[in-house]
Amino acid sequence: MTTTRVISAGKDGYCICSRCIMDTTDPDISFDADGVCSHCRRYEGLIGSASYLEKKQPGALDRLAEKIKKAGRGKPYDCIIGVSGGVDSTYTAYLTKKIGLRPLAVHLDNGWDSELAVANIEKTLKILGIDLYTHVIDWEEFRDLQLAFLKASTPDAEIPTDHAILALLYSIAAREGVRTILSGHNMATEGGGVPAWSQGHGDWRYIREINRRFGSGKLRTYPHYGPWRFIYYTVVCGIRWVPILDYVEYSKKAAIELLKTELCWKEYEAKHYESIYTRFYQGYLLPVKFGFDKRRLHLSSLIWSGQMTRVEAMTEMETEHYPREVQNEDRAFFLKKMGIDEGEFTVILNASPKTFWDYPSYKRSPVFRVRRLLNIYHYFKRS
């Protein structure tokens, strides 16, 4: 369907989707004649795709489990899972054990874990009987990289953590001879993305350039992967990512209640708030500096998957999810841990916003086309 931008009456041309709650805080959004946004249409295409429907076929999860078990025979583990203490990764751990797999849980300690996240991880893995490998990142090196991203003034300042997690999971899978990484990413609760809000998570050239321009040292120990290491992991080692939650009818509300009952798991204020950095960054810095709230995408995903109504989502957006007293505590902790004062933070807040495209990246080079060809290769190779 061809979409055209439709701007409804409102201050400064503001427009919000008639079906979900995505709006023109995404500068690239478009709307059809019915006021339905491009994110809604994209989601419809994704859940109607052959690759997604294949995962929903009867017996698909059992066939996946048997293939993973077969590939992992004779090894201590047959799959790798990342754990953060959040609901998606915790339910992934639960489901993985339920279908009889032998996972190794991997956690990146980047210095920002909340006490609740640590407790949730410990309780979950103890009850499920899953081994844990924790990688403690070099704090001074990592802090400098995080600060470099803040100074770069793009809305991508969580990339240092996200990229390190991806690299760590790949490296541990390769070390253990495991061919499957089970991901908690899923269409039901994470059915879309907004490139204008964040992109470049797997782009090592982009990360290096931000560090070169705004950092104070070299990245000597930071977990990372570039195009050739990506080829080694995916082609030579045959490692693949599997969004296992797409193989089940995944309900966020039902998952939370199950985890509370069976794993003594405790809930957070909002999605991804198991990290103090993420809580402050998404709850304060992104809305104040860049003018958008990632809850719009998270709640819209629940609308698309039928787990929430639009009215409920609109009401949720009006609730106080980040109390002022918690915000103030996080701000003080953030400044102290990052080693900056209020004046330096004000400079960061007031700097003109930039985008991913203001800096060199692999997306500007032929290497990006190589990665796209590899993605096509894995699409046809999938089980």
87: CATH: 3.40.50.620
Structural domain includes residue 55: no
Shared-domain flag, residues 185 and 263: yes
Q: In this structure, are 76 and 217 located in the same domain?
A: yes
Using an 8 Å Cβ cutoff, are 76 and 172 in contact? no
**Does 286 share its domain with 372?**
yes
| Collapsed DSSP state (helix, strand, coil) of residue 331 | helix
30 and 142 in a single domain? The answer is no
Question: Rounded to an integer, what distance in angstroms lies between the CA atom of residue 344 and that of residue 320?
Answer: 28
Residues in CB range of 74: below 8 A, 6 or more apart: none
pTM of the predicted model as reported, rounded to 2 decimal places: 0.91
CB 17 within 8 A of CB 25: no
Report the number of distinct structural domains present in the chain. 2
Question: 3-state DSSP call for residue 349?
Answer: helix
Identify whether residues 291 and 216 lie together within a single domain.
yes
152 is written with which tokens? 């770069």
Domain that holds residue 320: 60-381
For residues 289 and 345, membership in a common domain is answered with yes
Strand 131-136: give its sheet, edge to edge: 131-136, 103-109, 79-82, 180-183, 240-243
Give, for all 383 residues of the chain, the pLDDT tens digit. 333 444 443 456 899 999 999 999 999 999 999 999 999 999 999 999 999 999 999 999 999 999 999 999 999 999 999 999 999 999 999 999 999 999 999 999 999 999 999 999 999 999 999 999 999 999 999 999 999 999 999 999 999 999 999 999 999 999 999 999 999 999 988 887 899 999 999 999 999 999 999 999 999 999 999 999 999 999 999 999 999 999 999 999 999 999 999 999 998 765 556 789 999 999 999 999 999 999 999 999 999 999 999 999 999 999 888 889 999 999 999 999 999 999 999 999 999 999 999 999 998 776 555 555 555 444 444 44
Burial class (CB in 10 A: 0-12, 13-18, 19+), 197: buried
- For residues 202 and 307, membership in a common domain is answered with yes
Q: Is 80 left (phi over 0), alpha (psi -120 to 50) or beta?
A: beta
**Same structural domain, 181 and 141:** yes
